[in-house]
């Protein structure tokens, strides 16, 4: 069995390990998909929903959700990175063959065992599809272990949609129900127009046997949660992936603390029932 990255980090959780860039694929004007490879014989060993701390040596470090599925690792993994600051600007200029630093995987992922045998509703918005893609492909690779699978995905503009080739592939499958919407269409857009909540009336669910997963911009959560609970899905079956200023990844720096909860350790995946007592405005900012 290959050694995992966590095994190599057991002496120092703060020491990045080198990872070589295998491929860089532009996704939108702001996002690129990076395929990375750890040293030979070392696997990432992640679960869907976990994240890594990615560093550009001499520039900085940032938490990035893992977008590839463990079922498709083949010794490599993928990160979808938005260009937002100094480190990510430098990263976007890097090419295959160059080396970055990786720590992790960190955090708590999606409870796959609890999801098996149930219907699944995915409701990501914008960049939120990146962390959910890991779970989506894991579910599709184990398709017979799940009930009905539904994907509701929204973005502001068609040019901001991620993984468009895979969205097309998923929609062409006979065992996945895919609905996509944009807030501001262009002249070529033929699909639904409106925010993601306009897709919910298109979906029928057997609430007591349904698990729902959402991830996206903070403003989206409140309204998506209302729609999911309005369909009768139990609060304990609704999962959110939160990104909250995670720095160290191991619960030491306190940047991601929400009351007494450290997002990097107790999350980034939470059941809504476990965090509903927290102020949503505090938890989702």
What is the per-residue pLDDT across 14-25, written as a single tens digit (0 to 9) for each? 789 999 999 999
- Condensed to tens digits (0 to 9), the pLDDT of residues 42-71 reads 889 999 999 999 999 999 999 999 999 998
The pLDDT confidence band at residue 2, using thresholds 50, 70 and 90, is: low
Q: Are strands 51-56 and 60-65 parallel, antiparallel or unpaired?
A: antiparallel
The two tokens of residue 56 are: 């550009």
How far is residue 247's CA from residue 15's CA, in Å, rounded to a whole number?
A: 13
- Condensed to tens digits (0 to 9), the pLDDT of residues 212-267 reads 999 998 889 999 999 999 999 999 999 998 865 666 666 667 666 677 776 667 66
- Condensed to tens digits (0 to 9), the pLDDT of residues 105-124 reads 999 999 999 999 999 999 99
**pLDDT at residue 247, rounded to an integer:** 67
- Condensed to tens digits (0 to 9), the pLDDT of residues 154-163 reads 999 999 999 9
Which residue, 171, 169, 223, is CA-closest to 196? 223
Give the 3-state secondary structure of residue 163: coil
CA-to-CA separations, 22 to 5, 86, 257, in angstroms, rounded: 18, 22, 34
- Condensed to tens digits (0 to 9), the pLDDT of residues 201-215 reads 999 999 999 999 999
Residues 59-88: b if buried by 16+ CB within 10 A, e if exposed: eebbbbbbbbbbeebeebbbbbbbbeeebb
Q: What is the DSSP letter of 241?
A: E
Residue pair 55/87 in contact (Cβ under 8 Å)? The answer is yes
Q: What is the DSSP letter of 2?
A: P
Which residue, 237, 17, 129, is CA-closest to 225? 237
Residue ranges per structural domain of the chain: 3-106, 112-242
For domain 112-242, say whether CATH 3.40.50.80 is its number: yes
How far is residue 268's CA from residue 216's CA, in Å, rounded to a whole number?
A: 13
Report the chain's C-alpha Rg in angstroms. 18
Of residues 279 and 163, more confidently modeled: 163
Mean pLDDT, the chain, integer: 89
User: Over 90: is that where the pLDDT of 136 sits?
Assistant: yes
The pLDDT confidence band at residue 282, using thresholds 50, 70 and 90, is: low
φ, ψ (nearest 5 deg) of residue 218: -50, -40
Q: Which one of 2.40.50.140, 3.30.70.260, 2.40.320.10, 2.40.30.10 gives the CATH number of domain 3-106?
A: 2.40.30.10
User: Over 60: is that where the pLDDT of 283 sits?
Assistant: no
Mean pLDDT calculated for residue range 75-86 = 94
Residue 229 φ/ψ region, left for φ over 0, alpha for ψ in the -120 to 50 degree band, beta for the rest: alpha
φ, ψ (nearest 5 deg) of residue 122: -100, 130
Q: Are strands 210-215 and 177-182 parallel, antiparallel or unpaired?
A: unpaired
Give the 3-state secondary structure of residue 248: coil
Global pTM value: 0.91
Q: Are strands 192-193 and 177-182 parallel, antiparallel or unpaired?
A: parallel
Q: What percent of the chain has a predicted confidence (pLDDT) above 90?
A: 73
Of residues 43 and 153, more confidently modeled: 153
């Amino acid at each position: 069995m290959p050694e995992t990255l966590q095994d190599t980090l057991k002496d120092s959780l703060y020491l990045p390990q080198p990872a070589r860039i295998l491929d860089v694929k532009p996704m939108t004007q702001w996002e690129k998909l990076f395929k990375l490879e750890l040293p030979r014989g070392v696997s990432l060993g992640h679960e869907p929903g976990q994240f890594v701390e990615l560093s550009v040596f001499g520039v900085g470090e940032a938490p990035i959700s893992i977008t590839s599925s463990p079922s498709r690792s083949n010794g490599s993994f993928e990160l979808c990175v938005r260009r937002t600051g100094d480190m990510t600007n430098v990263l976007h200029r890097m090419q295959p063959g160059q080396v970055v630093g990786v720590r992790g995987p960190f955090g708590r992922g999606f409870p796959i065992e609890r999801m098996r045998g149930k219907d699944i509703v995915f409701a990501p918005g914008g960049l939120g599809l990146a962390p959910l893609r890991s779970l989506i492909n894991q579910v599709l690779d184990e398709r017979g272990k799940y009930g009905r699978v539904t994907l509701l995905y929204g973005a502001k503009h068609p040019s901001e949609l991620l993984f468009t080739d895979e969205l097309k592939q998923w929609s062409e499958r006979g065992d996945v129900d895919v609905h996509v919407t944009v807030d501001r269409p262009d002249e070529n857009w033929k699909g639904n127009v409106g925010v993601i909540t306009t897709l919910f009336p298109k979906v029928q669910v057997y609430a007591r046997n349904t698990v729902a997963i959402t991830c996206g911009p903070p403003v989206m959560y409140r309204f998506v949660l209302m729609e999911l609970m309005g369909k009768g899905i139990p609060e304990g079956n609704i999962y959110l992936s939160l990104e909250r200023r995670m720095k160290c990844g191991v619960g030491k720096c306190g940047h991601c603390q929400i009351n007494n909860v450290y997002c990097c350790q107790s999350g980034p995946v939470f059941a809504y029932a476990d965090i509903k007592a927290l102020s949503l405005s505090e938890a989702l900012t």
